[in-house]
Chains A and B, each alone.
Chain A
Amino acid sequence: MSVILLMIPVALILGALGVGAFIWAAKRGQFDDLDTPAMRSVYDD
């Protein structure tokens, strides 16, 4: 069971990293416009 002592902090850190990445992306306006990027990627040359 003592592996949990390691796993819990690892899981929490991974989770925090995920939230951190999301906050970073949101702050840079990645979620402001959800329509245009879909069109942009299809026709990239």
Chain B
Amino acid sequence: MDDLTQAVASVTNMPSSRHACAHCGLDVPQGLVVEDRAEQFCCNGCEGVWRVLRGAGLGGFYDVRDASDAAARRPTTSGREFDEFDDVLYQQTYVEALPGGLARTEYLLEGVHCAACVWLLERLPRVAPGVSSARVRFGAGTVRVTYRPDTITPSAIARALDVLGYRPHPARGAEARDARAQSDRSFLIRVAVAGACAGNIMLLSIALYAGAFSGIAPAWESVFRWLSMAMGIVSLAWPGRVFFRGAIGALRTRTAHLDLPIALALFAGGVWGSANVIRGAGEIYFDSLSVLVFLLLVGRWIQHRQQRSASDTIELLLSLVPSSATVVEDNGSKRAVPIDALELGCVVEVRAGETIPADGTIVKGSSSVDESTLSGESVPRRVAPGEGVAAGTTNLNTPIFVRVSAVGAGTRVGQLMARVAEAGTLRAPIVRVTDRIAGWFVLVVLLLATVTFAVWAPSGIPLALDHATALLIVACPCGLGLAVPMAMGVSVGRAARAGVLIKDASSLQALAGSGVMLVDKTGTLTEGRISLAAWHGDQRLRDELGAIERGSSHPIALALASDDTFVATDCVHTPGGGVQGTVNGRAIAAGSAAFLESIGVAIDPVWNERAAAAGLNRRTPILVARDGHVRALAELADTLRPDARDAIDAIRAAGWDARVLSGDMQGVVDAACDELGIPGMGGATPEDKARVASEQTNDGHAVVMVGDGVNDAAAMAAATVGIAVHGGAEASLEAADVYLTKPGLAPIVDVLHRAQSTMRTVRVCLIVSITYNAVAASLAVAGLMSALLAAVLMPVSSLAVVAIALRAGRGGHAS
């Protein structure tokens, strides 16, 4: 059994036996072992999947799984009906009609983790008649299903996928991903054409250079030169067009862009090279130019592809956000509809643990609502019929029925999303280090070219033009143009494997510097839910209380519940008060002072004082009594993550001025700040947060906003770089430039170190390539730069910087 299996088994905390589950391979709990049966199962889910596979003759799954050596995983069958997939709106958005009466739709699946999953999913037609094909994209975890709409519905396909253990979600952003795939394809085609031209021109050039040393018939030389020119022009006009377009754009907006010096070199080389071919004398340059185009495109393509996969992954994460709501009709029947199809005035059911789909008023049911994502408030709010609830918040305890009063853009979340878009447009883009250099580059190169031409003009205009063009080409910043995107691309790719998704590589540049880091508290520095912060008094009582709290989904109960050391009986939960129960024949009660007094518990004044002190610390005090006397006090709070202290220290050591910016009450924020030793501001509305972020940006600081909630999204968009932590809300994902796929704050430190290491690599590349350019340019000014020397030097310098660039972003802590 491998480590992971062991870890999973220990987390599930069940006594293990020697039986391995026939489906997932995990240990079967003793209580579930059925005597005299060949196959044992760890849960109903596994048994269900196993039966389906055997029934469909797909037992081969287990052979593939065993061969693929992947860690065991329990399936996540939910048993839902997935009605929302049949809604007209879903059909319009996600289903594409194909010729021949077929239709195609795409699902994002949870739990696709090995080759056996691919094998099984692509045999979906055998499990679900009516499906004609299923194609998995392993990296993204999506499956594209082609089916006959007259025989099977999207919800039936979803149920089939669910039964196999892969919980389906509508895959959002298909159009955006298709567009990105499309641009990826044309990029790849450009790289291929540039490569083919460069390779063939190099072949002809070898003949020409050999001819220059050992003699070549003038007729052949002329043929080769014309052929080089033909292919060179193809290379410049087709794949090379991107540089000219970039340069023209830069000229129009009067901004510096690295495409400018590159386009200059390509243009001068192309024009004078063609002139030389036509007049039959002088250098032709097309070999250097086509290799230049090819290498530059390769570098950009690597960055493009890595950024694209990060963007795709983030967009697909949005699919996991619940997209359906349960509407309750007047006659009491329920049906699932897409959130976008909700109408004002209808009643929706929100079960415990679900996200509330729209703003509205509770018509039935009392519960607690976690509003931390909207307000940053860490303590859940108790709600009763007649009170309002907001979209995007989570219902914690009991089902509630909500009459919808605002949907979509009209909700509080919708308004905040509008602010995110607004803040995003106001944000000044990060000036790339290469573009900052590019302006100077153009100036120096043009000046040098003029000087070279002036110096050589007395020896003849063609010779002077030759030398000036040679200078323009060797001075072309190919090291910069190749190494920097390559280093960034490699680093983004490495970060993605380490669990940090980076949408735009220029964020790395900002993160490598220093500035102000604004950190949200609830859900970012803290876990975002209540847990036991301190326990005073009888320790044994803690486990006894834990036994009573087990089995309740109230947040306080979840914080106090313990494992099965004791067995509680006669448990009574009084909403808004506390709990009572019997453990080992002794009466245990816990709750507020008022609740305990109401059931006749004597409270010693010392406990009241302690409870009051806990209240002053913004902690929730719970008094615990045994046999009618208070014996212990539990202090509950949303405590800091265990790694918060170390992470903040490391962030400050990396040169960032860390500050807490929270919507929670000032007292709670102060307590957290004291523990971390950093300043903080509490009671901030989402608008306040965005204002603080943009004020700091206007002061000239690089600002990083780290957060998880909708309330942080506008600030993330306004900041130089927005970082969304693991489990962040939908809006924060959309606003963030960087998304951490692993919980905790350590990945932030990791990404800072990674950014610093990347920029160190970039700086080394810059030094190497500028040194090369300086040496080559001085040779060219002196007229010593022959085309052959240039043709040799250029790839050598490119290879050198590429070798350096490939080291970029290695490990967060490597220096």
Contacts and interface: CB of A to CB of B under 8 A. Distances in A.
A26 B193 contact: no
15 contacts: A1-B220, A4-B220, A12-B200, A22-B192, A23-B192, A23-B193, A26-B192, A29-B185, A36-B135, A36-B136, A40-B118, A43-B60, A43-B64, A43-B118, A43-B119
Given A15-B196, A19-B193, A22-B192, A40 B122 contact: yes
A31 B182 CA distance: 11
Contacts of A36: 118, 135-139
Interface of A: 1, 4, 8, 11-12, 15, 18-19, 22-23, 26-27, 29, 31-33, 35-36, 39-40, 42-43, 45
A27 B200 contact: no
Contacts of A45: 60
B450 to A, nearest CB: 39
A35 B118 CA distance: 11
Nearest to A36: B138
Given A1-B220, A36-B137, A18 B188 contact: no
B461 interface: no
A19 B192 contact: yes
A27 B119 CA distance: 26
Contacts of A27: 185, 189
Contacts, number: 61
Contacts of A15: 196, 200
Interface string B61-76: 0001001100000000
Interface of B: 60, 64, 67-68, 115-116, 118-119, 122, 135-139, 181, 184-185, 188-189, 192-193, 196, 200, 217, 220, 223, 227
A44 to B, nearest CB: 9
Given A22-B192, A26-B189, A33-B137, 8 more contacts: A18-B196, A19-B196, A22-B189, A32-B184, A36-B118, A36-B139, A39-B138, A43-B67
Contacts of B135: 36
Nearest to B137: A33
Contacts of A8: 223, 227
A31 B136 contact: no
CB-based closest 8 A-B pairs: A39-B115, A36-B138, A19-B196, A35-B138, A43-B119, A43-B64, A39-B118, A35-B139
A26 B137 contact: no
B210 to A, nearest CB: 14
B189 A23 contact: yes
B188 A31 contact: yes
A8 to B, nearest CB: 7
Which residue, B60, B138, B217, has most C-beta atoms of chain A within 10 A? Answer: B138
A17 B196 CA distance: 11
Contacts of A33: 137-139
Contacts of A11: 200
Task: Tell me which of B64, B67, B68, B189 has the highest count of chain A C-beta atoms within 10 A of its own C-beta.
Answer: B189
A27 B138 CA distance: 20
A6 to B, nearest CB: 13
A12 B85 CA distance: 53
Contacts of A19: 192-193, 196
A40 B119 CA distance: 7
B69 to A, nearest CB: 12
B371 to A, nearest CB: 40
B192 A29 contact: no
Contacts of B137: 33, 35-36
A34 to B, nearest CB: 8
A4 B184 CA distance: 38
